[in-house]
Each structure stands twice: as C-alpha cells, then as structure tokens.
A and B are shown apart, each in its own frame.
Chain A
Amino acid sequence: MSGFPTLLYKEVLRFSKVGFQTVAAPVLTTLLYLLVFAQALDRHVEVYAGVGYASFLVPGLVMMAMLQNAFANSSSSLIQSKMTGNLVFMLLPPLSHWELFGAYVIAAMIRALVVGIGVILAALPVAHVFIKEPLWLLAFGLAGAGVLGALGVIAAIFSDKFDQLAVFQNFIILPLTFLSGVFYSIHSLPPVWRSLSRFNPVFYMIDGFRYGFFGQSDSSPALGLALVLGFFAVVAGIALSLLASGYKLRN
C-alpha cells in the first residue's frame, strides 16, 4: 500500500490542529476587508449591473483568501519540515515525488476550500451572495488553489529560511493577488494596466471564480480556465522535477 493517504492525512491534520491560525484567522481578516470596503463603497460603486459592491467583492475576497492560504499551507509545512529537520521522516519512507507533490498540493486545496466556505458563510449576513454557476466556481476554486499550492512547494524548496519564503509571499504572491481584480473590474483600469492584468494568471482565477457567482466576468471563463490549468501544468511540472531531483531536499 502507498504512503500517500497517510501523508495527505498528516498534512490535513497539521493545519486542523491549529485551526484558529489556519482557518479562523483568515476568515476573520477577509470578513474585515469586506465590512470596511462594503461600508465605505457599497453605495458609490456598481461594477456589474444589479450587483452591489459588497456582493461584487465577495468572490474576489473569497478567492484571494483561498489562494493565499493554499500557498501558505504547502509552503509553511514544507519549510518547517526542512528547517526543523523532520523532513527526514518523509524522505526515508518509499514515497515518490508524485506522492509528495500530491499530498502537499491536495492538502493546500483542502485548506483553501475550508477557508473559502468559511468566508462565504461569514459574508452571508453582510452581503447578498448568490451562486449562478457552481461548477465554474468549483473548477476555478480548485484549479487556483492547486496552482498556489504547487507554487508553495516550489517556494519552500528554494527557500533556506523563513525570511526567504516571506520575500516570495510578500513580493510575488501578495501583489499578484491584490492586483488581479479582487477589488475592481479591470475594465475600470487605464488601457496599459488592463493589458498588463491579462498577463497575471491570478486575474483569470479571480475573474473565473467571480463568473461562478454572477455568470458574468471580464474575460471568457473557458479561456480563463484553460490558462489557469495550463499555468498549473507548468508549476506542477517545475515542482515535480524539483522533488524528483531532490534539489535542496536530498543533500
């Protein structure tokens, strides 16, 4: 029998044991974003016809929380194991690079889903939430979390200390998620920024996820999902080759 289910179970158990930090805290933070922005702008901004700003914000904030937590889960778990040395317990057993990758990424996706559901439930009393295209919503949610989970694996492999991981998180992941249309439609941006946004893969994740709620978005959801899955294939390929080579892990 494979050790993969146990590694996945251990990764889920790990974040469950500190649920206040890994689930409740991001739900609360995201809810605060929603309360502040909705209070300040709800009556002044209408991005889509018939959709209030608070409602418009919900999908973007949910997806942002999901993406950030997917990245945080795989990256923090792997780098903690590297730093404390207990990674040896996963490297000694007969686990393949596919099993290591699968467990870290799927656990990241599970945490993202739990956080996402938590944010949606917390947003219900604050904003009118409706879901028109649940399958698109699920597809973008899972694919986006998968991409960030895989990116977390790559970042943790390259990082030798928490400081380096923080650089990755604060200077790459955070700007990409904030500048991806969480708080606005890219149609409201100047042409240059609008064009640049289309090179940001997180834009397609947020936009497609929003399509799942409202049935309308800035770009085609089919094209967006294809791009997100393509991006996943690229980052998964990089992560798998790093794990297979043992780079910075088996030295």
Chain B
Amino acid sequence: MRIPDVSLSAVAPRIAASGAAVSGTAIRVEGVTKRFGSLQALAGVDLAVMQGEFFGLLGPNGAGKTTLINILAGLARADTGRVEIMGHDVRRQYRDARRALGVVPQELVFDPFFTVRETLRIQSGYFGLRRNDDWIDEIMASLDLTSKADANMRALSGGMKRRVLVAQALVHRPPVIILDEPTAGVDVELRRGLWTFIQRLNREGHTIVLTTHYLEEAESLCGRIAMLKAGRIVALDSTSNLIRRQRHLRLRFLATGNVPGKLLGKPVQHEAERRVLVLTELAEIEPALAELRRAGARLVEFDIEQPDLEDVFLEVMGAPREASK
C-alpha cells in the first residue's frame, strides 16, 4: 500500500476545538458491566484513555473487547456504569460523543448498492457534513483508494474494503479513533501501509485505541495497554512497564555431547533438536554455558530470546507458554 505524503494538519484545529481538552481524557469508562443472558461479558470495567494516546486493548476471544468497544460507540448499552468520549456521556450526549468517535468495525461490512465515493459521501452526510468532498478526496488519496472511487463496493477486494472501512471512520475527522482488529486477514503490504497512516494520525493528535491479536503490532505501536480477561481488566500499564514485569529470558541452544538435565539448577527443556533454558537475567548466560562445557557438551549454536508482550499476555491470561513461540 502506497501512502502519499498528504498533510492531514487540517484535523488539528478540529481536535483542539472539540471542547473536551479541558479534562485531557479522550475515553473514560467507570464501573461498566454488561451481561448477555448468563454470560457476564463485562464485570466492572474502569479505564481512562488520555488524549493523543495510542492505546491497546488486548485479550483472548470472548474477553469483552468488542463489547466494550460497542458500548463506547453506542452500538450496545451498558447495564451499569458510565462512559464518556471526549467528556460527552455516550447516552445523554450521544450526538457529541458519536461526533468525537470514529470506529473501524471488526467485520468486513459494506453496502452493496453504492460506489466508494457514494459510500463516503453518505457516511459524511450522516454526520451532517454535506460539502466534504475535499476531505473525502484527501482520505481516499491517503488510503490509495482514488482509483477505486467510482467502483461499486461489491467489486472491491477484501483489502480494499478494509481501507474503505477506515476511510468511513475518518470522514467526520473524529479526535478519537477505535480500530477493532483492523488487520485481521490483511496482507503484509496493507498492514504496513495502514499502520503508517494510523501512526501519522496519532502524531497529528488523534487518540487511537486498537484491539488486535497480533501482539507484536500492539507492542510496537501502543504506548499503553490494557488486558481484558473474562470481562475484567487484569493488566493496565505502559507497554514498556508491562514487558519489564517479565524478568525471564530464554537461552535456546544446539549442543552435541552430554547435555545435562539441569543447568544452574534450572531444568533444560527440549524443543525439537534444540534445548531451552529459562534464565532470570543476562548475567546468568555465561555461567550456564560454562557449566554446559564442563559437562562435556560442545555448543554448536545459540540465541537469546528477550521477553516480549506475548510472554506478558500469556502470563496475565494464565496460559502456559510453549517452549517454542
């Protein structure tokens, strides 16, 4: 995906003028619960996302991420609790709250009756913006959709439809953008292009909330992350702090000769023809290798695996990590 160098600076005055800069909070969630029959989808969620943040919302399937997003967007109603977007209550001040929010839904949905340009004009009109063609042209150029402007939505590939979903979320220049698994099933080129574009929007002042199952994406993009499990937030911190919580690293090696079952008193795990030793700090590496040599083994190759967000995620979710990622 080619991203032309188009300035989106026109967004900034809108954000500054949106009125909610007073609190500095883009999204505020207080004591939100939601039940679907016997399923407690959200069991008391409290969360504040500050303006300008790139925020990650992670969790396994069924953790309540999409339910929370739907409540933020007014697509579902919380049983209890309070939700604000840019200081506007999503129930009592729903018009202001929805004007401040752009949502890229998870499902690849589209209206088969219309072309790309018609779709974007109509979406813009729903927000009361009827002379918005300059901005629509700019978004289409930014998302490399211009050549498809007059194509019917049915004729687009999945990746193109995904771009239109992103464009639809941006037609009213919302200060807060929620992307619900935007790269699911998307090829590498589009994924990279999409993140370049979203990062630019973030730099220009937009608050971004992202859910994704690609944890490496969340790790590289998000400044702060909340992890949801069974409808509750079980971890909430900056991405670097979360990763710092993980104090272990993996020494993975291939050796010939006599490899002992324990090194430095820690069990040596098998991973196909390689062995894995979980250590707590870098300083343990050399003593471990020395002990290996003393046992009569000859080291053929090795690598060191630093902890990452996936380790944190699996630990928080209580899932045992396999020796191999």
- Chain A contact residues, CB within 8 Å of chain B: 1-3, 5-7, 9-10, 13-14, 17-18, 81, 84-86, 88-96, 246, 250-251
Contacts and interface: CB of A to CB of B under 8 A. Distances in A.
A2 B128 CA distance: 5
Given A13-B113, A246-B77, 8 more contacts: A3-B127, A3-B128, A10-B114, A84-B110, A86-B109, A91-B75, A93-B127, A94-B98
Given A2-B128, A3-B125, A3-B127, A91 B111 contact: no
B273 to A, nearest CB: 48
Nearest to B172: A93
Contacts of A93: 98, 123, 126-127, 172
A10 B126 CA distance: 10
Contact of A3 (B73, B75, B76, B126): B126
B160 interface: no
A13 B111 CA distance: 12
Interface size class of B (residues with CB under 8 A): 20 to 34
Contacts of A3: 125-128
A111 to B, nearest CB: 14
Contacts of B75: 88, 91-92, 250
Nearest to A93: B126
Contacts of B110: 84, 86
Contacts of A91: 73-75
A163 B103 CA distance: 31
18 contacts: A5-B125, A6-B122, A6-B130, A7-B126, A13-B114, A84-B109, A85-B107, A85-B109, A88-B105, A89-B126, A91-B74, A92-B98, A93-B98, A94-B94, A94-B95, A94-B128, A251-B36, A251-B76
Contacts of A9: 122, 125
A92 B125 contact: no
Given A92-B98, A94-B95, A94-B99, A14 B113 contact: yes
B73 A1 contact: no
